[in-house]
Structure 1
Amino acid sequence: MAIESHHITVSGLNVEVVRKDIKNLHLGVYPPHGRVRVAVPLLVTDEAVRLAVIEKLPWIRRQQMKFQNQPRQSQREMVNAESHYYLGQRYRLRVTERPGAAMVAVNAVTYLDLFVRPGTTQEQRGEILSKWYRVQLKLLILPLLEKWQSVLAVQVAAWVVKKMKTKWGSCNPSSRRILFNLELVKKPEQCLEYIVVHELAHLVHRTHGEEFIAMMDTHLPHWRMTRELLNSMPLGHDEWGPGSYLEE
């Protein structure tokens, strides 16, 4: 748990410094605008943080440029021909008003059909689609958890799908509880698998230290490429805060 958080300026960059009871320094660049955050052990000085940031300046600038160039969706209006994503594929929304229960269906590789009662509002349409996304994501997560819990010899106590503005996923090693961002259902399946493995690995190694990296390298050798793919895809309308996986 963080016991101190403050900001310093390094080469014109505003850097958040968070001191925790950890062993290694972790530097991250986060969407949507490339905010820089450094988590450090309790006794690491601000001067040491400055040196670490200066050493990584070229990498930081590259990540910030990626975020600046990253496409973002405008707020969805839930109308015909609007673009929506599912498993990395872009679909055109096709809204059909009819009596009966609401439902969503994927039509080949072109349309995402949304069937609603006449007079359904934009907000209601969005909630119907969101509920469908949630069900689909849970169905995708289940077999991945079964597979990777066995491979990594770990066991989750609970997991939840949640709308999050800060992270693709989150793990509490103490409670063995994992959160998955609902937005993952819009990304390619390999991105979801990467997040599943990433969060399960935190049940063994709490931080992104050398042992954590070694575990990821062993079990998911191409995880860095998948991370880049995930962090390059369109972000939703909501603003993001700390927690992407662009960490060094």
Structure 2
Amino acid sequence: MTVIIMRKFIKNMYLRIKPPNAQIVISAPSCMSQAAIARFVTERKPWIERARRTMLQAKDEQIRQSDFNGLDGVNGSNGPENLNGLENSGDVGDRNNPGDPNSLNNPRAFVWSDAAKERAVQAINAQLPALLAKWSPIIGREPTHVTLRIMTSRWGSCTPKTGRIRLNLQLGLMDPRFLEYVLVHEMTHLWENGHGEGFQRRMSAYLPQWRQLRRELNRHVVL
């Protein structure tokens, strides 16, 4: 297995399978030995293989569905998220009329046009005030700024020190429940820097179904 190792100033080691290509990514403490990382990966090999197989099967199904719908594919630059990596809606066409290239039905052909960006911005801005009004009292903190941007590897990010949250613009073209999940996830980081027990405990209290939402979101390709 090819494993990407990212050294960070953290206490614990984290393993992620990142879409769309099921990359194995380890975040490890700066001082941890290579042997300890290797043991960590080896012990989790059965889980890694299952997770990668599930993710790649989901990716293949998206491609097969695109081909079935008669859409011509083009080379793209789809990145991996997780939240920590990411349903589809729009028109489809036949081979003589590829249809809307900005339809999420065909992630290989998707391009960010000005119209798609505007549609996504409007959709998120229409939902954000109500979501912030709902979740700020529950979580007990609120962001200082919420920025929308095109991201190629993640669905959102948070800088706890400044209170700034960034959301992937693609969420404006997806099921609204994913926008809510990502917002709650990032707002929880205003309390918890990492994804350890404290973070998980808070998420379970705020949004009991968050793990299922995360699984569903991470089956999608970040455009």
Give the TM-score category using the shorter length. 0.7 to 0.9
Q: 2 CA distance for matches of 1:60 and 1:141? A: 35
In structure 1, the partner of 2:107 is none
Q: 1 CA distance for matches of 2:129 and 2:39? A: 43
Alignment pair present for 1:166 and 2:160: no
Q: 1:59 aligns with which of 43, 47, 57?
A: 47
Q: 1 CA distance for matches of 2:137 and 2:127? A: 17
State the secondary structure of the residue aligned to 1:90: coil
Q: 2 CA distance for matches of 1:89 and 1:166? A: 18
Q: Is the CA contact 1:34–1:64 (under 8 Å) kept in the aligned structure 2?
A: yes
Q: 1:194 aligns with which of 149, 173, 181?
A: 181
Alignment pair present for 1:139 and 2:138: no
In structure 2, the partner of 1:177 is 164
- Specify every segment of 5 or more residues in structure 2 that has no aligned partner in the other structure, as ranges: 67-72, 76-86, 94-99, 103-110
State the secondary structure of the residue aligned to 2:130: helix
Code of the residue aligned with 1:48 in structure 2: it is: A
TM-score (norm 1): 0.68
Deviation string 1:55-80 (CA, Å, 9 cap, x unpaired) is: 2212222222233222156459xxxx
Q: Is the CA contact 1:138–1:161 (under 8 Å) kept in the aligned structure 2?
A: no
Q: Is the CA contact 1:19–1:39 (under 8 Å) kept in the aligned structure 2?
A: yes
Q: 2 CA distance for matches of 1:168 and 1:75? A: 23
Aligned residues: 188
Q: Is the CA contact 2:120–2:171 (under 8 Å) kept in the aligned structure 1?
A: no
Deviation at 1:31, TM superposition (A): 1.4
In structure 2, the partner of 1:39 is 27
Q: 1 CA distance for matches of 2:112 and 2:174? A: 21
State the secondary structure of the residue aligned to 1:229: helix
Deviation at 1:217, TM superposition (A): 1.1
**Alpha carbon RMSD of aligned pairs, Å?**
2.7
In structure 2, the partner of 1:151 is 138
Alignment pair present for 1:18 and 2:6: yes
Deviation string 1:131-173 (CA, Å, 9 cap, x unpaired) is: 1221111222232122212211112111111110010011111
Report the CA distance shift for 1:75/1:189 in structure 2 as closer, same or farther (over 3 A).
farther
TM-score (norm 2): 0.75
Code of the residue aligned with 1:90 in structure 2: it is: S
Task: Point out the structure with max Rg over C-alpha.
Answer: 1
In structure 2, the partner of 1:209 is 196
Report the CA distance shift for 1:63/1:142 in structure 2 as closer, same or farther (over 3 A).
farther
Deviation at 1:232, TM superposition (A): 2.1
Query: Which aligned runs of 4 or more in structure 1 are off by greater than 3 angstroms?
Result: 72-76
Code of the residue aligned with 1:138 in structure 2: it is: N
- Specify every segment of 5 or more residues in structure 1 that has no aligned partner in the other structure, as ranges: 1-12, 77-87, 95-111, 115-123, 239-248
Which protein is richer in helix relative to its size? 2
User: Identity of aligned pairs, percent?
Assistant: 28
Deviation at 1:24, TM superposition (A): 1.3
Q: Is the CA contact 1:187–1:230 (under 8 Å) kept in the aligned structure 2?
A: no
